[in-house]
Amino acid sequence: MPSSRLPAPIARRLRLPVIAAPMLQVSGIELVVAACRSGVIGAFPTVNARSPAELDAWLTEMRTRLAPYPDAAPPCPNLIMRSPRLAQDLDCVLRHGVEVVITSVGSPAPVVDALHGIGCLVLADVATLAHARKAIAAGADGLVLLTAGAGGQTGWLNPFAFVRALRAEYDGPLVLAGGISDGVALRAAQVLGCDLASMGTRFIATHESMADEAYRQMLVASTLDEVLLTRAFSGLPTNMLIGSIVRMGLDPARLDETVTPSTADQMFGGSAHGNHSAGPRRWRDIWSAGHSVSGVHAVQSVQELVEELAQEYAQAG
């Protein structure tokens, strides 16, 4: 693997410069452990565990199951900065001494000092140059660039332009998120100036993900033409599978693109957001996917996927 700006204790344990992206209601213990054992960083939103107590149990089980593999890549909790559980989840992550964390949906400033206190690498999700500069000023160690084509809540900047603009002023670790479908794209991300690529959609279509089997099969059957950019379900730009919208009886051409995040929570957030709407729930019933969905050709194990990526990556070198 080419030289990296990542800390050596992490970089030396990576078979590939990949993060299996943190995905709501998809990334769990099985996916994270399989990813780390295969030599890629396994990330997960802490809120996928239903409570801070369950998060503690998850991290304990991950550590136990990875203990026989000292060269496994590290698990990577994703702290959502606007989560009402942030303080409790942060406390849990600190007690477990994690090596790397991704922060998202807000400035990393409230958690940086505490995480640095345990020697943890802090990667901040950003979608604009302004956000990137603020995250750097707040003390983030690296940046996850959310670009056009990412699944779920997405960025809108062209990845080529975004990376090169940041590399003109920043020499820290960069992670490219959005549209990475195979080992060739992974190699291209490094040539562009990134240290890692965050891949989500390909990992949804693995046996170890928490995704419904119908979700996995829809990914196999879909192309990037069947990904819709919409604000209707979250109040923010979000890439969703058209097929999953249709199966819930909704017309993709008649969605309300003016909703606010709070209204979207009430309509599609489900009980996780304190309401019990009768309508479909985002993530559970209406499924996300990135433009890399065109690279999903079969449901695989994580090990099979990483092996395929490694072969493509080597051939593209």
Q: How far from chain centre, in Å, is Cα 280?
A: 23
**3: in domain:** no
**77: in domain:** yes
3-state secondary structure of 8: helix
3-state secondary structure of 78: strand
Shared domain for 45 and 177, answered yes or no, is yes
Read off the pLDDT of residues 13-49 as tens digits, 9 standing for 90 and up.
Answer: 999 999 999 999 999 999 999 999 999 999 999 999 9
In this predicted structure, what is the pLDDT of residue 279? 74
**15: in domain:** yes
Structural domain count of the chain:
2
Shared domain for 237 and 148, answered yes or no, is no
Shared domain for 150 and 43, answered yes or no, is yes
Of 280, 257, 230, 204, the closest CA to residue 35 belongs to 204
In this predicted structure, what is the pLDDT of residue 274? 45
DSSP state of 282: B
| 199: enclosing H helix or E strand | strand 196-199
| 144: enclosing H helix or E strand | strand 142-146
Shared domain for 259 and 307, answered yes or no, is no
Residue 117: domain span: 8-209+297-316
What is the reported pTM? 0.92
Q: Taking each helix axis as running N to C, give the angle between helix 52-66 and helix 86-95, from 0 to 180 degrees, rounded to the nearest 10.
A: 30
Shared domain for 181 and 242, answered yes or no, is no
User: Which parts of 27-126 fold into alpha helices (H)?
Assistant: 29-38, 52-66, 86-95, 109-116
Q: Taking each helix axis as running N to C, give the angle between helix 129-137 and helix 159-167, from 0 to 180 degrees, rounded to the nearest 10.
A: 40
Shared domain for 261 and 200, answered yes or no, is no
Do 78 and 101 contact (CB within 8 A), yes or no? Answer: yes
In this predicted structure, what is the pLDDT of residue 264? 87
Shared domain for 127 and 172, answered yes or no, is yes
**62: in domain:** yes
The dihedrals phi and psi of 44, each to the nearest 5 degrees, come to -155, 140
Shared domain for 115 and 254, answered yes or no, is no
Shared domain for 276 and 306, answered yes or no, is no
Shared domain for 181 and 234, answered yes or no, is no
Assigned token pair, 30: 């099985």
Shared domain for 182 and 303, answered yes or no, is yes
Q: Which of the residues in the chain have pLDDT under 50?
A: 271-275
In this predicted structure, what is the pLDDT of residue 272? 43
**217: in domain:** no
Shared domain for 260 and 302, answered yes or no, is no
Pairing of strands 152-153, 142-146: unpaired
**2: in domain:** no
**302: in domain:** yes
CATH value at residue 198: 3.20.20.70
In this predicted structure, what is the pLDDT of residue 3? 55
